[in-house]
A and B are shown apart, each in its own frame.
Chain A
Amino acid sequence: MSDAASPDITPAAAGAPATATAGGATQETTTVVEFTQVGKTYDTGYTAIKDVTFRVDDVPGHMEIVGILGPSGCGKSTVLRLIAGLTPQHPATTGIVKVMGKPVEAPGADRGFVFQDYTSFDHRTVEQNIAFGLECRGTPANERLELARDWIQKVGLDVKRDADKYPHELSGGMRQRVALARTLVLKPRVILMDEPFGALDPKTRYAMQDQLVALSREVQATVFLVTHSIEEAVYVGDRLFVFSNAPGTILQEMSIPAPDRPARVMQREPDFLDIVFSVRDLVEGLEMYDRAGT
Chain B
Amino acid sequence: MAPLPLLALRATPSLPVRQAAGGVAIVLVLLAWYLLTSGATPEARAISPSVFPSPGEVIKGFPSLVTERNLVGGIAASLNRVFLGFGLALLVAIPLGIVAGSFRLFGAAAQPISLFGRTIPVAALLPLSLQMFGIGELQKVMFIFLATAPFIFHDTARAIVGVEDRYVDTARTLGASSSHVMAKVLIPLALPDIYAMIRAMFGIAFGYIMLAEVVDAGAGLGYILLQSQRRGMPEHLVGTLFVISALAYGIDALFRFFERGFFPYRRSHE
Q: How far is the CA of A67 from the CA of B260 in the complex (A)?
A: 44
Closest to A119 in B: B170
A136-B184, A168-B267 as given contacts; A123 in contact with B173, CB under 8 Å: no
A147 vs chain B, min Cβ distance (A): 13
Residues in A with CB closer than 8 Å to B177 are 136
Partner of B172, one of A86, A122, A123, A166: A86
Residues of B within 8 Å of A122, CB to CB, are 189, 265-266
Assembly CA distance A109 to B170 (angstroms): 10
B167 neighbours in A (Cβ, 8 Å): 119, 121
Rounded to whole angstroms, the CA-CA distance of A107 and B267 in the bound complex is 31
Cβ of A112: which chain B residues have Cβ within 8 Å of it? 173-174
Q: How many residue-residue contacts, CB under 8 A, span A and B?
A: 73
Given A133-B174, A136-B174, A136-B175, check contact A166 B264 (CB 8 Å): yes
What secondary structure prevails in chain B residues at the interface with A? helix
Tell me if A183 is interfacial: C-beta within 8 Å of chain B. Answer: yes
Assess the A137–B166 pair: CB atoms within 8 A.
no
Residue from the list A115, A123, A137 in contact with B170, Cβ < 8 A:
A115
B184 CB to closest chain A CB (Å) equals 7
B185–A137 touching, CB < 8 Å: no
Within 8 A of A (CB), among B163-188: 166-167, 169-177, 180, 184-185, 188
- In the bound complex, how far is the Cα of B191 from the Cα of A107, in angstroms? 26
B contact residues around A108 at 8 Å (CB): 173, 175
Which residue of B166, B169, B189 is within 8 Å of A123 (Cβ)? B189
B190 to chain A, nearest CB (A): 10
Q: What residues of chain B lie closer than 8 Å to A174, measured between beta carbons?
A: none
Q: Which residues of B contact A137 (CB under 8 A)?
A: 175
CB distance from A248 to the nearest CB of B (A): 20
Q: Which chain A residues border B185 with CB–CB below 8 Å?
A: 121
A253 to B167, CA, bound (A): 32
Are A132 and B265 touching (Cβ within 8 A)? no
Kindly provide the distance from the CB of B110 to the nearest chain A CB, expressed in whole angstroms.
Answer: 23
Chain A residues with CB under 8 Å of B264's CB are 166
Residue in chain A with minimal CB distance to B167: A119
Q: How far is the CA of A174 from the CA of B270 in the complex (A)?
A: 19
Given contact pairs A113-B173, A132-B174, A186-B175, enumerate 4 new A-B contacts (beta carbons under 8 Å). Answer: A85-B172, A86-B172, A119-B169, A121-B167
**Chain B, range 241-270, C-beta contacts under 8 Å to A:** 263-267, 270
- Check if A135 is an interface residue, CB within 8 A of chain B: yes
Q: Kindly state the separation between the CA atoms of A276 and B43 in the bound complex, as whole angstroms.
A: 95
Among all A-B residue pairs, the 9 with the closest Cβ atoms: A109-B175, A133-B174, A107-B172, A113-B173, A166-B265, A119-B170, A123-B188, A136-B176, A136-B175
CA distance A119 to B173 in the complex (A): 12
Judge whether B166 and A132 touch: CB under 8 Å: no
CA distance A186 to B180 in the complex (A): 16
Report if A133-B188 is in contact (Cβ < 8 Å); known contacts: A113-B169, A119-B166, A123-B265.
no
- Hey, which chain B residues are within 8 Å of A106, CB to CB? 172
Within 8 A of A (CB), among B183-225: 184-185, 188-189, 191
Known contacts A123-B265, A166-B264, A168-B267; decide if A109 and B184 are in contact (CB<8 Å): no
